[in-house]
Amino acid sequence: MSPVAQSAGELWEELNIREIPSALRAWMVSHVPGFSGGGTLQKFGFGQSNPTYRMCAESGQYVLRRKPLGPLLPKAHAIEREYRVLHALRDSNVPVPKALAFCDDNAVLGAPFYIMTFVEGRIFYDQRMPGMAPHERAGIFDAMNATVASLHHAEPLALGLEDFGRPERFLERQIATWTRQYRASEGDPCEAMERLIEWLPANLPAEQPARIFHGDLRLDNMIFHPTEPRVIALLDWELSTIGDPLADFAYHSMVWRVGADLFRGFGDLDRAAMGIPEEADYIRLYCERTGRSEIPKWNFYLAFSLFRVAAILQGVWRRSRDGQASSADAEVVGAKAHPLAEIGWRIAREG
């Protein structure tokens, strides 16, 4: 297996392989044009939220993504929203897999799910991209930046997504939402989270023009062309809504502020030698592509992003404790919530 990247096919672990259940096969025949034959389901070997499977059938390859089984946190695992935004973006400049069909009948698989096309390409799970030449990394980062800018250029109204979210008081409501999510999965006390819960609502920036907010813009949520530095599919739209694009971009950019052992960051690496742009250069390129002169209150956006990811990872930790985790390393991943919150509080104090 290449140390640089794994193909979308290679990332499927050899576990939980089974024949396509008869109820699912019958549903596919009725709802996915062109589907035929039996085949297998194979669980995707990574991911912390919604279980995802590769489906191999006579008519081709598909991806099935479903909600976890059992009780869930309020508003979590919103795959119906994923399906809607994928369908809306199908003819846009934003690269996405083609959404094929959605099922909300629990009798088929025990939980709602949707089907999309399988996209073959490269997924870089490690932001450092070991084994790559500096110019190759630079090309990947440029392509990633261009994809994020393309998303934030898209007009929700033109895509039929004007009611996909409420942009008014977006950050205020996001802070309240993630505070509730954190409280619902809270473990040991975390002073940094308590400080951020108090500081963020008191330091809100001015509202920005609303755009599609992906919610989890990471390198490993993008599939790149097999040989070119070009994104061919942006994945994992569970947290998508309509809101402040700068908050979306800051979440995407916080890896410049964390170490390699803490959220696949590169804040402690020799970026110049690796071909990774500096944070300021990456921001400047995004601003050029989106027609901005600057990003006001950048530290607020970074602090909010670290608060938000800490709340998300606290939920991962809780699902692990409750036996609902989609990934075997969920407890280890969830344990990173507190140190990330501490970094966020430090950035907030810096102003």
Least Cα distance to 282 among 260, 249, 308, 247 occurs for: 249
Same topology, domains 6-117 and 122-350? Answer is: no
Residues 6+ apart with CB under 8 A from 132: 4, 140, 275
**Residue 30's pLDDT is what?**
96
**Predicted confidence (pLDDT) per residue in 122-134, tens digit:** 999 888 898 999 9
Mean of all residue pLDDT scores within the chain: 88
Cα–Cα distance measured from residue 21 to residue 328, given in angstroms and rounded to the nearest whole number: 24
**Residue 92's pLDDT is what?**
95
Reported as half-sphere exposure (CB side, CA atoms, 13 A), residue 215 has a value of 20
pLDDT at 3 over 50: no
**Predicted confidence (pLDDT) per residue in 247-280, tens digit:** 999 999 999 999 988 878 889 999 999 999 999 9
Phi, psi of 60 (to 5 degrees): 135, -165
Helix (H, G, I), strand (E, B) or coil at 310: helix
Percent of the chain with pLDDT strictly greater than 90: 70
Residues 6+ apart with CB under 8 A from 67: 50, 77, 79, 111, 112, 113
**Residue 315's pLDDT is what?**
81
**Residue 27's pLDDT is what?**
96
Out of 3.90.1150.10, 3.90.1200.10, 3.40.50.300, 3.90.600.10, the CATH code matching 122-350 is: 3.90.1200.10
Which of the two residues, 214 and 239, has the higher pLDDT score?
A: 214
**Predicted confidence (pLDDT) per residue in 149-189, tens digit:** 999 999 999 999 999 999 999 999 999 999 998 998 877 88
Model confidence at 320, pLDDT cuts 50, 70, 90, reads low
**Residue 215's pLDDT is what?**
93
Q: Report the CATH number of the 6-117 domain.
A: 3.30.200.20
Amino acid at 203: N
Q: Is the dihedral of CA 123, 128, 133, 138 positive or negative?
A: positive
pLDDT at 47 over 60: no
Percent of the chain with pLDDT strictly greater than 70: 87
**Residue 2's pLDDT is what?**
38
For the segment 205-231, the average pLDDT, to the nearest whole number, is: 96
Model confidence at 68, pLDDT cuts 50, 70, 90, reads confident
**Predicted confidence (pLDDT) per residue in 10-38, tens digit:** 443 434 678 999 999 999 999 999 999 88
**Residue 318's pLDDT is what?**
67
Domain regions of the chain by residue span: 6-117, 122-350
Cα–Cα distance measured from residue 192 to residue 188, given in angstroms and rounded to the nearest whole number: 12
What is the per-residue burial (b if ≥16 Cβ within 10 Å, else e) of 62-92?
A: bbbbbbbeeeeeeebbbbebbbbbbbbbeeb
According to DSSP, the β-strands at 122-123 and 231-234 are: unpaired
pLDDT at 206 over 90: yes
pLDDT at 331 over 80: no
H or E segment to which residue 340 belongs: helix 337-350
**Residue 239's pLDDT is what?**
87
β-sheet with 231-234: strand ranges across: 6-7, 122-123, 222-224, 231-234
**Predicted confidence (pLDDT) per residue in 73-113, tens digit:** 555 567 899 999 999 999 999 999 999 999 999 999 888 99
**Residue 261's pLDDT is what?**
82
**Residue 49's pLDDT is what?**
72
Helix (H, G, I), strand (E, B) or coil at 337: helix
**Residue 1's pLDDT is what?**
35
H or E segment to which residue 117 belongs: strand 113-117
Reported as half-sphere exposure (CB side, CA atoms, 13 A), residue 249 has a value of 31
Cα–Cα distance measured from residue 100 to residue 244, given in angstroms and rounded to the nearest whole number: 29
Cα–Cα distance measured from residue 302 to residue 304, given in angstroms and rounded to the nearest whole number: 5
**Residue 240's pLDDT is what?**
94
Q: For residue 198, give Cα distances in angstroms to 179, 188, 297, 348.
A: 10, 18, 17, 11
**Residue 330's pLDDT is what?**
55
Q: Assess contact for 348 and 303: CB atoms under 8 A.
A: yes
For the segment 298-320, the average pLDDT, to the nearest whole number, is: 88
